[in-house]
Chains A and B, each alone.
Chain A
Amino acid sequence: MALDQATKLHLEKELLPFLTLEARGDLKSVAIRYFLELTGSKEGRDFIAEGDKFLKAIASLTCDKEKDISRDAFLTLINLTADEKIAWKLMNTETTFIYDLLHKMLKPDFEFADQASSIIANTTRIAGCASKLACQILEANSKVTMENVVNVLCKVNFNKNATLHYLGLILSNLTQVPGIRKIIMDKDRCIIQKLLPFTEYADSTIRRGGIVGTLKNCCFEYEYHAWLLSEEVDILPRLLLPLAGGEEFDDDDMERLPVDLQFLPPDKEREADPDLRTMLIEAVTQLCSTKQGRLLIKEKNAYVILRELDRWEKDPKTKVACRNLIDVLISDEPQQGMEDLHKVEVPEHLVEKFNQMDLDLLSDFKEELDKKASEEKEEKGEEKS
């Protein structure tokens, strides 16, 4: 659909007036439907986002009493916020729109909770938007609390008409903000603990992935490592469990593992998504950057889980992350004064060298895994003939 100047003018003069709550229902319906179809193309999306008028109008229609109209408005905004520039613009022209959506979707009877969560997830992918929303949540008179966000996320079937899977992604995006992380890790409350069982949540990769991302973000708070690894939270087994398969260990190795990882059945399957596996590995790697964390993780025999994962792993990027973590676990302890790895200042030329080593390792793995794959194909070919 080409948008010539005449069409643009027509949309502004003729259709925009119908994008109001007061407009006649049938005309409003045709207008919003037209804009929804417009968002199918980048040209259309860019046109809608040129000024404030269209965004404001569409946002207002999410409150329309006619369900079909509000649904179309929501779908339009989902498509628009998939574009980062437009998401940023929406956040800044309708300053409380995203916050109000979040407040609504935390009620069990909100009909468009899933659509709302998609919009919020799209918008909070942008660090600036996440930060803005976080500030609004953290205000003293805020009606939204992070504790309630977590409680709603952890209560599956909270809303009979919505899955709220994208709430996991929203939480992950918001925990890019340090202030939000600290609330979730309030030692006087029980918030992050409720998220831990969801690293094995089977019904939704999005929900599970959002929670894994949240936990990984929390592992960047180094002062909290001792608490995260203590019995009060016990985060380590929940990060390792999705990385563990059904391999059998001898009694000595078994006894040193956390109880959650002992006697796993032979049909235990690992996390299927390689991106999530990488995030889990990187979370454990962060926990290893403090001496205290590293020693405890060694003591808990995490190495054997990662050793078996490395043998099993077929994704090159994940394999690199796994090798890096294994290197930390099997290396001697750093010399005095350099125990906390995140504090060590690495010279620029060494950073470049390490990055190059990772790239070399990555291409080596790709080559090796491709070779194995082609060999397997040949074997299958021979069997068939």
Chain B
Amino acid sequence: MPKSKKAMSDEERKELVERLTADLEDFVAERSIAARNRKATEPEDTRTIDEIAEELKSHPAFMKDIDWSKPLPPEVEGLMQLKYECEDPTARADSYREDGNEQFKLKKYQIAIDNYTEGIKSKSPDAELNAVLYTNRAAAQFHLGNHRSSFNDCLFARKFKPDHFKAIIRGAQCCFQMNKFADAVRFCDAALMVEPENPTVLELRVKADKGMRARERDERKQAAKERKEEEEDRKLLQAIQTRGVQVASMKVSPDSKINPLLLTALESHNPTGAKVHLDDQGHLKWPVIFFYPEYAETDFISAFDEEACFSDHLEHMFGPETPPAPWDEENKYKPSRIEIYFENKDEEKLYRVSPESSLLDALRHKKYLVYAGTPGFIFLVRGSKFAHEFTARYRKH
């Protein structure tokens, strides 16, 4: 059984308008503060909320007295001119409203907007008419998908008539389309103060509330992901520090918080994007690059377990069961003949690494420095002419 809608008494109506006015002023003030904090330059309607609100104060619909000691606001001056032109601004504005409505029905929304705009520019002192003009323009903007402009018009409409239901519900729809769910709920609540049982508003509020909570969940999910990544990064850095491995450009004290720059030091620039990481057993796995300067060739190991020996990789890469590398013209790169070096760039010296060493043994060498998160090692063939010449260069210094 449908409930009979109780007519609002004059007193109740007045109280409602006062409450909606206070809420609207709070909303605009909050938005003004938020906009100031953002300091972002927005292309459309660059006037700040404060400037717009100030301008509205001098609109004829709001003025109560003219302060003759100050220059007349352009609107009032315009009104006085119109007085002598014997043309009624309200009649003109209303005419534009009718024309706009005709175009709206024909779905010619841009022309409708132009009409409503001219009606607004007429500066009628009729507050309700101004509210209707702004609301209708908001509707046309909404149909064109200009939700922000539509929302601003809703705000202006409510400035003229805070309890204008169509402006409130349109504002709620705009906020919802812009995914501003909390604001949508707020506008729905304002609309329900005017029409407490409006099914459209009730339904929209449920959707907006749901959207708000889903977004909050997504924010928490993102925060959880970041916490997890940060924890993993912390463990990684701790593991590296604990092992005494030196990473170029990374200087940390045990108590320092994770600095993004520290992680940059571990960013590798290899094509696969592989990065040092901890495996399930707590072993570090490094992307490692092998250099063969004799032939200007390289090999890349994407995940070299710190506990694994170089000899294991040599057997796998150059063992009897493996065909020789295409660039190994003399077929002389054999596990038993390969010598492993790393270069200390500061000293311009080569240091020898035993093939029986683990990667961790090599990285712990007090002269070893990891660059770009990727340990690098030089492979030479013992007794070869190139090896002799190559090592001789370093010995001269």
Interface residues on chain A, size class: 10 to 19
From A108, A189, A265, B220 is in contact (CB under 8 Å) with: A265
Report how far A237 CA is from B224 CA in the complex, Å: 20
Report how far A188 CA is from B196 CA in the complex, Å: 8
Report how far A237 CA is from B213 CA in the complex, Å: 11
From A190, A259, A264, B192 is in contact (CB under 8 Å) with: A190
Given the known inter-chain contacts A262-B221, A263-B220, A264-B220, please indicate yes or no for A147 contacting B209, CB distance below 8 A. no
Given the known inter-chain contacts A259-B214, A260-B213, please indicate yes or no for A189 contacting B221, CB distance below 8 A. no
Least CB distance from A257 to B in Å reads 10
Q: Which residues of B contact A108 (CB under 8 A)?
A: 22
Report how far A147 CA is from B12 CA in the complex, Å: 14
Which residues of B from 178 to 197 have beta carbons under 8 Å from A? 188-189, 192-193, 196-197
Q: Which residues of B contact A292 (CB under 8 A)?
A: none
Does A382 lie at the interface of the complex (its beta carbon under 8 Å from any beta carbon of B)? no
Query: How would residues 183 to 210 of chain A score, 1 for a CB under 8 Å from any chain B CB and 0 otherwise?
Result: 0000011100110000000000000000
Given the known inter-chain contacts A189-B196, A190-B205, please indicate yes or no for A259 contacting B3, CB distance below 8 A. no
Does B121 lie at the interface of the complex (its beta carbon under 8 Å from any beta carbon of A)? no
Least CB distance from B4 to A in Å reads 11
Quick one: closest A residue to B12, CB to CB?
A: A143
Q: Which residues of B contact A265 (CB under 8 A)?
A: 220, 223-224, 227
Q: Is the CB of B223 within 8 A of A231?
A: no
From A194, A231, A263, A266, B221 is in contact (CB under 8 Å) with: A263
Q: Is the CB of B206 within 8 A of A188?
A: no
Q: Is the CB of B224 within 8 A of A259?
A: no
Which residues of A from 241 to 270 have beta carbons under 8 Å from B? 259-260, 262-266
Q: Which residues of A contact B387 (CB under 8 A)?
A: none
Least CB distance from B226 to A in Å reads 11
Interface size on B, residues (CB 8 A): 22
Does B13 lie at the interface of the complex (its beta carbon under 8 Å from any beta carbon of A)? no
Q: Which residues of B contact A260 (CB under 8 A)?
A: 213, 216-217
A interface SS class: loop
Report how far A193 CA is from B205 CA in the complex, Å: 10
Report how far A264 CA is from B224 CA in the complex, Å: 8
From A189, A231, A262, B217 is in contact (CB under 8 Å) with: A262
Does B283 lie at the interface of the complex (its beta carbon under 8 Å from any beta carbon of A)? no
Q: Is the CB of A194 within 8 A of B189?
A: yes
Does B202 lie at the interface of the complex (its beta carbon under 8 Å from any beta carbon of A)? yes
Which residues of B from 194 to 234 have beta carbons under 8 Å from A? 196-197, 202, 205-206, 209-210, 213-214, 216-217, 220-221, 223-224, 227
Q: Is the CB of A231 within 8 A of B206?
A: yes
Q: Is the CB of B224 within 8 A of A263?
A: yes
Does A345 lie at the interface of the complex (its beta carbon under 8 Å from any beta carbon of B)? no
Least CB distance from B188 to A in Å reads 8
Does A232 lie at the interface of the complex (its beta carbon under 8 Å from any beta carbon of B)? yes
Report how far A262 CA is from B227 CA in the complex, Å: 15
Report how far A232 CA is from B227 CA in the complex, Å: 34
Quick one: closest A residue to B23, CB to CB?
A: A155
Least CB distance from A237 to B in Å reads 8
Least CB distance from B323 to A in Å reads 45
Query: How would residues 209 to 249 of chain A score, 1 for a CB under 8 Å from any chain B CB and 0 otherwise?
Result: 00000000000000000000001101001000000000000
Q: Which residues of B contact A136 (CB under 8 A)?
A: none
Given the known inter-chain contacts A262-B217, A262-B221, please indicate yes or no for A231 contacting B197, CB distance below 8 A. no
Q: Is the CB of A189 within 8 A of B224?
A: no
Which residue of A147, A234, A262, A266 has the most chain B CB atoms within 10 A of its CB atom?
A: A262
Q: A188-B3, A259-B213 are in contact. List 6 more A-B contacts (CB 8 A).
A: A151-B193, A194-B189, A231-B206, A260-B217, A262-B217, A263-B221
A-B contact pairs, 28 of them (CB 8 A): A108-B22, A147-B196, A151-B193, A188-B3, A189-B196, A189-B197, A190-B189, A190-B192, A190-B196, A190-B205, A193-B209, A231-B206, A234-B210, A237-B213, A259-B213, A259-B216, A259-B217, A260-B213, A260-B217, A262-B220, A262-B221, A263-B217, A263-B220, A263-B221, A265-B223, A265-B224, A265-B227, A266-B227
Closest A-B pairs by Cβ, 4 of them? A263-B220, A259-B217, A263-B221, A263-B224
